[in-house]
Amino acid sequence: MTTASYSPSELLQATADVAQLAGRTAMRWYGRGVDVEIKSDGSPVTVADREAERVARAWLTERFPKDGLQGEEFGDERPYAHRRWILDPIDGTKAFVRGVPLWGTLIACCEGDTVISGAAYFPAVDELVVAAVGEGCWWNGARAHVSSVASLARSTVLITDDCFLDRPERGAQWRTLSSRADVVRTWGDCYGYLMVATGRAEVMVDDIVNPWDSAAVYPIITEAGGVFTSWNGTPTAFGGSVIATNAAVAVATRALLTEPIEGGSAPHR
């Protein structure tokens, strides 16, 4: 079967539309004390996650019936399709269930391992950031750019949490980086990538990610002028880890996080 051809701008719009649809669906349960289940991988899930993904899958299947789907909650459909959509209905479920508004809905459109477009919608704070190859990155309708901060000593550095600090080498690398930064904060999830893409932070690091965590934010960072790699420095959305930075501190950040080191100072809090 032949996959219909769409321009990057058309895919950008579709990605934004379905992200907002799914995010608004999840909002129906936000702040209402939903029950939480623990999946086999130890991560939480709620009725909001599942219903938001169902709505997104139905929307995409109606408009792109030959495309593949890969979602956090319901797995793969048509996995051998040339084009596929990767869905995370709620990135930051732990924040969602605690009433913290920094969770988002992530949608990516890919051809093979090339991410054509990505959207991150944060309905609790009404922010949408969307990007497509060659189309730029857009934040609530305005062009988004990473910052021009060129010194780690002036940088804001983010992680989702510090659970990886018990892994000696990466923990030491992170402590060295964070000790040189101006501001260090956690509870990033996907909101940390929005912060980098819009120039409000310089570095976002995730030690372990799944494709639905990282695919959408790859074009968001790169089209905003930033650098997105795995922890080992490979430019990919599918490396299982992420270092996202503005361009100016990209080399310095990766030098600290990818080279073997020992020790390191405690981060600022």
Give the domain CATH number at 31: 3.30.540.10
In the sheet with 183-185, reading across from the earlier edge strand, the strands are 183-185, 156-159, 203-206, 242-245, 227-229
Residue 245 falls within a domain, yes or no?
yes
The pLDDT value recorded for residue 261 is 56
Residue 1 has pLDDT above 60, yes or no: no
pLDDT at 263: 45
pLDDT at res. 40: 84
Concatenated DSSP letters of 57-125? HHHHHHH-TTSEEEETTTEEESTT-SEEEEEEEEETHHHHHTT-S--EEEEEEEETTEEEEEEEEETTT
DSSP 147: -
Average pLDDT, the chain: 93
204 C-beta neighbours (distance < 10 Å), count: 28
- Kindly report, residue by residue over 223-258, the tens digit of the pLDDT: 999 999 999 999 999 999 999 999 999 999 999 998
Q: Are residues 97 and 30 in the same domain?
A: yes
Residue 68 is part of which domain span?
Answer: 8-143
Tell me, yes or no, whether 267 lies in a domain. no
Quick one: 23 and 52 in the same domain?
yes
121 shares its domain with 209:
no
Q: Which residue has the higher pLDDT, 218 or 75?
A: 218
Averaged pLDDT for residues 12-30: 98
Compute the average pLDDT of residues 66-71: 97
Residue 265 belongs to some domain of the structure: no
58, 97: one domain: yes
Residue 123 · residue 24 · CB < 8 Å? yes
Q: Are residues 30 and 86 in the same domain?
A: yes
The residue-averaged pLDDT of 54-81 equals 95
Q: Is the pLDDT of residue 167 over 50?
A: yes
CATH number at residue 163: 3.40.190.80
Indicate whether 88 and 176 sit together in one domain.
no
Residue 266 — very low, low, confident or very high, per pLDDT cuts 50/70/90? very low
CB 197 within 8 A of CB 146: yes
Query: Which residue is listed with tokens 């792109």?
Result: 64
Per-residue pLDDT tens for 110-164? 999 999 999 999 999 999 999 999 999 999 999 999 999 999 999 999 999 877 7
If asked whether residues 223 and 124 sit together in one domain, one would say no
Cα dihedral sign, 135-8-106-237: negative
* Better-predicted residue by pLDDT, 248 or 172: 248
**Residues 217, 99 share a domain:** no
199 within some domain = yes
CA separation for the pair 27, 34 (Å, rounded):
11
Q: Are 146 and 226 in contact (CB under 8 A)?
A: yes
Point out the domain boundary residue: 96, 116, 143. Answer: 143
Domain match, 179 and 226 both: yes
- For the record, the structure tokens of 48 come out as 């909001």
Name the pLDDT band for 187 (thresholds 50, 70, 90).
confident
State whether 249 and 173 are in the same domain.
yes
Same domain, 16 and 137: yes
Examine the fold and report which residue of 100, 126, 143 is the final residue of a domain before the chain moves on: 143
Residue 1 lies in a domain: no
CA 199 to chain centre: 16
Please determine, for residue 259, whether its predicted confidence score (pLDDT) is greater than 90.
no
Query: What confidence score (pLDDT) does residue 83 get?
Result: 97
Q: Is 200 a domain residue?
A: yes
pLDDT at 2: 62
Decide: 19 and 118 in contact? Cβ < 8 Å.
no
Final residue in a domain of this structure, among 143, 175, 192: 143
**Residue 2 counted as domain residue:** no
Both 41 and 58 in one domain: the answer is yes
- By percentage, how much of the chain surpasses pLDDT 90? 83
- Give the global pTM: 0.93
What lies within 8 Å, CB to CB, of 72 at 6+ separation is 49, 53, 87, 88, 89, 210, 212
202 domain-assigned: yes
Is the torsion defined by CA of 79, 212, 222, 237 positive or negative?
negative
Bridge partners, residue 70, by sequence: 76, 86
Is pLDDT above 80 for 262? no
Tally the domains of the chain: 2
